[in-house]
């Protein structure tokens, strides 16, 4: 079993294995995304309270979910990298950070674009937006630490540990921000809460969320391949491979 994991997670093996994966993941992300967009923009009914502006939800919520999901992936694979010394896991964590950060940014900007017609201001200290902002800070800290340490191995381990500490803190941060928000902004009902959603709105939302995750899987594989090439640049398999290109 152990040998099998070791062999399977070798960068060389991963590099060749990932080609068909990327192909199928990207195709399904594209198809599901297009279908979700179609349902979201053309089929889903107009919201009786927010009019058409609610259609931002099909971008905003999947992006927010994904930024949280990617942070979890980062922390888990960092843990695997630290505990079992599997290099591939470190590469996945490092490759995930820029993707997660960009989607946290997307969630923030779309949230603020949604907030303008709803609240009359581009930025309101809403609990979800605030939590998302802090999540973006966590991503930026991770990336800053990763790039500040020259030695690749200890950069991975150090930023990986930070990701794990961050993941322990995320629920605490989330809870305290939510609590803080109810205290100070009892008047503003959070507009991003849609407790009873029309099924025709829910389906495109879930489809878009799935498409975003498939997209992440595609991109993280592409980035991990690059990391594998770069980190193994002095090993034989990379040299032989590059010579053939």
Task: Summarize as ranges the residues that interact with another protein (CB under 8 A).
Answer: 41-42, 46, 51-53, 55-56, 59-60, 63, 82, 98-99, 102-103, 105-106, 109-110, 113-114, 116-117, 134, 137-138, 140-142, 144-145, 148-149, 151, 153-154, 157-158, 161-162, 164-166, 168-169, 172-173, 175-177, 179-180, 183, 215, 219, 222-223, 225-226, 229-230, 233, 238-239, 242-243, 245
Residue 7 Cβ, how far from another protein at the closest point, in Å?
Answer: 24
Query: How far are the Cα atoms of 74, 196, 237 from residue 233, in angstroms, in the given order?
Result: 24, 53, 9
C-alpha torsion sign, points 232, 81, 166, 100: positive
- CB of 9 or CB of 152, closer to another protein: 152
- CB of 63 or CB of 86, closer to another protein: 63
DSSP 188: S
In the numeric block, the tokens 């500490």 are attached to 165
Best CA proximity match to 192, nearest among 64, 101, 106: 64
Best CA proximity match to 165, nearest among 192, 190, 145, 195: 145
- CB of 4 or CB of 115, closer to another protein: 115
List for the chain the helix, strand, coil content (%; round to 5): 85, 0, 15
Residue 64 Cβ, how far from another protein at the closest point, in Å?
Answer: 12
For the chain, give the number of residues: 245
Residue 169 Cβ, how far from another protein at the closest point, in Å?
Answer: 5
- CB of 8 or CB of 240, closer to another protein: 240
Q: Can you tell me the distance from the alpha carbon of 83 to that of 77, in angstroms, rounded to the nearest whole number? A: 10
Residue 150: phi and psi, rounded to 5, are -70, -45
Q: Can you tell me the distance from the alpha carbon of 133 to that of 127, in angstroms, rounded to the nearest whole number? A: 10
- CB of 8 or CB of 179, closer to another protein: 179
User: What's the burial of 165, exposed, middle or buried (CB within 10 Å: 0-12/13-18/19+)?
Assistant: exposed
Residue 153 Cβ, how far from another protein at the closest point, in Å?
Answer: 8
Residue 241 Cβ, how far from another protein at the closest point, in Å?
Answer: 9
- CB of 151 or CB of 193, closer to another protein: 151
Enter the tokens of residue 94.
Answer: 């490092």
Residue 1 Cβ, how far from another protein at the closest point, in Å?
Answer: 26
């Amino acid at each position: 079993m152990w040998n099998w994991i070791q062999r399977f997670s070798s960068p060389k093996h991963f590099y060749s294995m990932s080609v068909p994966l990327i192909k199928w993941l990207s195709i399904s992300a594209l198809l599901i995304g297009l279908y979700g967009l179609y349902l979201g923009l053309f089929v889903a009914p107009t919201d009786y309270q927010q009019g058409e502006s609610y259609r931002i939800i099909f971008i905003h919520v999947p992006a927010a979910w994904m930024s949280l999901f990617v942070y979890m992936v980062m922390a888990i694979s960092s843990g695997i990298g630290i505990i079992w010394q599997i290099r591939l896991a470190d590469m996945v964590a490092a490759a995930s950070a820029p993707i997660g950060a960009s989607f946290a940014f997307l969630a923030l900007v779309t949230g603020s674009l949604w907030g303008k017609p709803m609240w009359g201001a581009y930025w309101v200290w809403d609990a979800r937006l605030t939590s998302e902002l802090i999540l973006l800070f966590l991503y930026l800290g991770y990336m800053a630490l990763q790039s500040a340490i020259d030695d690749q191995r200890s950069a991975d381990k150090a930023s990986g540990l930070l990701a794990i500490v961050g993941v322990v803190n995320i629920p605490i941060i989330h809870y305290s921000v939510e609590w803080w928000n109810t205290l100070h902004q009892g008047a503003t009902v959070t507009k991003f809460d849609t407790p009873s959603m029309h099924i025709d709105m829910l389906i495109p939302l879930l489809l878009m969320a799935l498409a975003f995750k498939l997209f992440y899987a595609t991109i993280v594989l592409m980035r991990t391949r690059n990391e594998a090439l770069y980190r193994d640049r002095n090993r034989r398999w990379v040299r032989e491979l590059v010579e053939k290109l």
